[in-house]
Amino acid sequence: MGSTSVPEAVKVARRQFFGEGRLSQALVAEPIMRSWQRCARLGLDRASQPPIEPMTQHELREIAEPHERLRRACRPEFLSLLQDAEATDAIVLLTDPSGVVLDALGSTDFAARAARVALRPGVRWNEAATGTNAIGTALVEHRPIEVLGSEHFFDAHAILSCAAVPIFDPEGKVAGVLDISGPSAVDHRHALGLARLAVEQIEHRLFEGRFEGADIVRFQCDPALIGTAREGILVFRESRLVAANRHGLKLMNLDWSALGAHRIDELFNELPQERTGIGKARDHHGKPIFARRSTPRILAKVPPSRPAAPQAPTQSVPWFDATGQAMLAKAIRLLHADIPFLVTGETGTGKEVFARHVHEHSIRAKGPFVAVNCAALPENLIEAELFGYAEGAFTGAHRQGRKGLIREASGGTLFLDEIGDMPLLLQTRLLRVLQDHKVTPLGGGATAEVDFAVICASHRDLAGGVEAGSFRQDLYFRLAQYAFDMPALRTRADRGALIDALSRQHLGHVPLSPEAEQMLAAYDWPGNLRQLVGTLKALRALAAQDESVGADMLPAPIRIALAKPAAEPAEPLSRLEAIEKQAMRRALDEHQGNVSRAAKALGVNRSTLYRRVLATEKTA
C-alpha cells in the first residue's frame, strides 16, 4: 500500500466505494472488498444502525442445544484465551454455523461497549444482518478473516477489531466460528494467530469418539507431531475417504471435495500394520512419512472385553443389512454429539434392538441403558417412574422413595419407547428436564443433575400428533432432530437371507423342510421381526428330537394366508399364464429353489411366486 498508512488507506477506500461507487483493489484486502460488494448488493446502508433484535434466553437455548458438543470441545480453548482477552481488553466468542453468538467470555469493560453494537450472545453476526465483519465474512469465505476498524461495512462497527476462524467438523462442514474481538484503538495483531491455534485444537478434539468402526490414519512428516493437533487425520470406511482434518488434506494436496472421492490405496502406497504404533509409510507420490493406523471394528460385533448386555445379544442377531449398518453408524455419531433422534417403524421392526446396539457401541456404553415403554406404564404411575418420588409422596410409595428412571439413566442412555403415548402434562416436565438437565422428584426433595443421551421410538406419526394437538411441538423438534425409519420385514430385500440366518440361530440343529422354508420366506409377517422370532422359538419347542419342521407345523395364520383360495377355478391355463408360470419355474431352477432370490430376479412378491407355482404344483 505504499506510504499510505492502513487506516488512511481504508478511509480512501470507503470514500471511493461509498461515495464514488468504485474501489481500488490495492487499498483493502480482497476478502474485505468482496464482502463490501456483497453487502452493497444486499442493499445495506452503511450509515444506518443494523436492525438487530437479540434473542430471548429461551430462543438462545433452543439454538444452542444442537451445538452442545461443539461448546464442550471449545471450552478448554475458551479458558486458555480468557486471560489474554482480559489483558488486552477483548472478548472471545463462539458462534453456530449461521453466525449466532453462543458464548462470550473476556473483558467485562469491553463486553459492555460491545453490547451497544449487539456483539453478544443471541445475536446473528452474518453479513446479511451485520454487514462485513470477521464472523460473517469468515463464514462466507471459509477462511480465517481479520476485520479492523473501518473495514467493517457499517460505520457503527468501526469501534471493533475482530479476528475470526471457521471451525470445520471432520466431514468438512462449518461447525461454527471462533472470534476474538476488541476495541479498534488497541493493537490486536496476535489475535488471528491465537484464534488459528485454538481452532486447530478444537478441530482435533472433534474427532474424539466420532468414528467407531472406521479405519483412521494419523500421519505427519515429523513423527513427534503424531498425536498432536498438528497431525494429519484421514478416516476411511470400506476403504473410502469419509472424513479428514485440514492438516491431513493439506499434506495430501487435497481439499474437502476429496471426501468420498478417494480410496485408501489411492492415497497411500505403504502404511504400517495396525496396532504397531507409529511406523514408516509412503503417500501416493512415494514421499516418506510417518503414520499410525487404527484397527477398524465391525459394528455388528461387541468387542470381547465388553460382555453383551443380557437382554440384548445383538452381536449375534443378523438384524441389520448394509442399509441398517449405515443407519447405525449415523446414529452412533449423533449420540456422540448428544443429538437426540427418533426411531420410527411398525411394531416389531426392531426399534429397541437398534437403540441398544447404538448404546453398546457408543462412548456411553459403560453407562446404563434404561428402556421405558411409555405405553405400558399406567398414566397415574408414569410420572413417578420417570422422575422418581420422595418419601411419602403418595399412598403406597416406598418408604425411602425412588430416584426414578431418568436418574438411573444418568451417565448412559434413556430409551423412551412409544413416546407418542406419553401424556401431555408429562411431555412438559420431560421438556424441562431436557432443557435444564435437572430432575426434581415428586413430593419435593433435592433437585439432581442428570447427564444422559436420549433416544425415542414410536410407531405413531408424531408429526401428525403435533398437528392434532396430542404431542407438543417444542418437544417433537427437540427429540426428533434426526429420524431413522426401521423397514417392515415384508419390504426388506434381504428377507430370505434374514429368515434363513434367524432360522439357524433359533432352531439350532432342527432342520426346516424345504416346503416350510419356502412358506416362511413367502409369508408377509405383519408382526415383523418380533413375530418371526417368536414363531421360530415356538417351532423349536414343538419339534421332536431329530425331527425336521414341516409345513404342517407352521402356525395356522401362515398356512391359511399362503393356501390356494378354495374358490379358484381349476381351469386350463391360458397361453399367457403358461408362459408366466414357465418363467417363474425357470427362475426357481436357476436359483436352486430359493424363493426369495427367484422372486427378486422376477420383480414379483414372494407370496405371488409361491401361490402361482409352488402351491399349485403341490395340489396338482
β-pairing, 268-270 with 448-449? unpaired
Three-state secondary structure call for residue 362: coil
Q: Both 334 and 428 in a single domain? A: yes
Residue in the structure block whose three cell numbers are 462412548: 363
**Domain count of the fold of the chain:** 4
**Long-range pairs of 614-619 with CB within 8 A, sequence gap ≥ 24:** 614/515, 614/518, 614/522, 614/588, 615/562, 615/563, 615/564, 616/564, 618/515, 619/564
pLDDT in tens, 511-530: 888 888 888 888 889 988 88
Residue where one domain finishes, among candidates 293, 324, 351? 293
Q: Mean per-residue pLDDT for 242-249?
A: 94
Label residue 497 by pLDDT band (50, 70, 90).
confident
Q: Is residue 130 part of a domain?
A: yes
Q: Both 607 and 497 in a single domain? A: yes
Q: Both 185 and 220 in a single domain? A: no
Q: Both 90 and 195 in a single domain? A: yes
Instruction: Quote the pLDDT of residue 395.
Output: 46
Residues 6+ apart with CB under 8 A from 431: 472, 474, 475, 478
pLDDT in tens, 443-453: 666 788 889 99
Label residue 203 by pLDDT band (50, 70, 90).
very high
Distance CA 587, CA 595 (A): 9
Instruction: Quote the pLDDT of residue 484.
Output: 93
Residue where one domain finishes, among candidates 172, 200, 228? 200
pLDDT in tens, 557-573: 888 888 755 444 444 44
Q: Is residue 21 part of a domain?
A: no
Distance CA 30, CA 32 (A): 5
What's the CATH code of the domain at 69?
A: 3.30.450.40
Q: Is residue 6 part of a domain?
A: no
* pTM, rounded to two decimals: 0.50
Distance CA 301, CA 317 (A): 10
Q: Both 51 and 176 in a single domain? A: yes
Range of the domain at 126: 34-200
Q: Both 531 and 608 in a single domain? A: yes
Least confident of 22-31, 125-134, 324-333: 22-31
User: Closest Cα to residue 375, out of 442, 459, 311, 432?
Assistant: 459
Give percent of the chain with pLDDT exceeding 90: 31
Q: Both 157 and 250 in a single domain? A: no
What's the CATH code of the domain at 507?
A: 1.10.8.60
Q: Is residue 182 part of a domain?
A: yes
Q: Is residue 531 part of a domain?
A: yes
Q: Is residue 304 part of a domain?
A: no
Cell of 363: 462412548
Say if residue 337's pLDDT is above 90: no
Instruction: Quote the pLDDT of residue 602.
Output: 67
Q: Are 137 and 147 in contact (CB under 8 A)?
A: yes
Residue where one domain finishes, among candidates 443, 467, 485? 485
Residue in the structure block whose three cell numbers are 476498524: 149
Q: Both 502 and 480 in a single domain? A: no
Q: Both 476 and 494 in a single domain? A: no
Q: Both 478 and 499 in a single domain? A: no
Q: Is residue 425 part of a domain?
A: yes
Say if residue 139's pLDDT is above 50: yes
Q: Is residue 272 part of a domain?
A: yes
Cell of 84: 489474554
Question: For the chain, how many residues are written?
Answer: 620
Q: Mean per-residue pLDDT for 41-68?
A: 85
Which is higher by pLDDT, 250 or 585? 250
Three-state secondary structure call for residue 572: coil
Instruction: Quote the pLDDT of residue 376.
Output: 77
Say if residue 464's pLDDT is above 60: yes
State how far Cα 341 lies from the chain centre: 8
Label residue 169 by pLDDT band (50, 70, 90).
very high
Q: Both 173 and 229 in a single domain? A: no
Instruction: Quote the pLDDT of residue 573.
Output: 47
Say if residue 318's pLDDT is above 90: no
Residues 6+ apart with CB under 8 A from 145: 31, 134, 137, 138, 163, 164
Q: Mean per-residue pLDDT for 127-137?
A: 93
Least confident of 189-203, 241-255, 583-597: 583-597
Q: Both 347 and 398 in a single domain? A: yes
